[in-house]
Amino acid sequence: MKRKNEETIRYVLEVDRRLMVLKQFLERRLLRASDAATKTGRSLQNMSRALRELERKGLVLALSPKKRSWKRYMLSREGEHVLNELKSRNLL
């Protein structure tokens, strides 16, 4: 289990957009790609891609998965664990 956690943390740290999105969940419980784009100064497409990547990894959940745009996301339990681990390691 610990090895899986380490792999997931490395996955997040591999690409800065993933880390930027996860960091947004420190301030918000629900997040849209447009919220993350505005806050980080990154493009909407970049933040949408990060959210899709994190969703595929099981770190975030789409509240309306069938909706094609303006989706809202929340952290999964695993996402909360990863965010807390990143925080405890001072990686945010």
Q: What are the mean pLDDT values of the chain's consecutive 10-residue runs (92 residues total)?
A: 84 97 96 96 96 96 82 96 95 90
User: What structural domains does the chain harbor?
Assistant: 2-85 (1.10.10.10)
Going through 1-92 in order, the beta strands assigned E by DSSP cover 60-62, 73-75
State how far the alpha carbon of 46 is from the alpha carbons of 18, 37, 43, 70, in Å: 10, 8, 5, 14
As given in the structure block, the two tokens for residue 47 are 């933040």
Which residue(s) pair with 73 in the sheet?
31, 62
Say whether pTM exceeds 0.85.
yes
As given in the structure block, the two tokens for residue 86 are 């990143």
Separation CA 32–CA 21 (nearest Å): 10
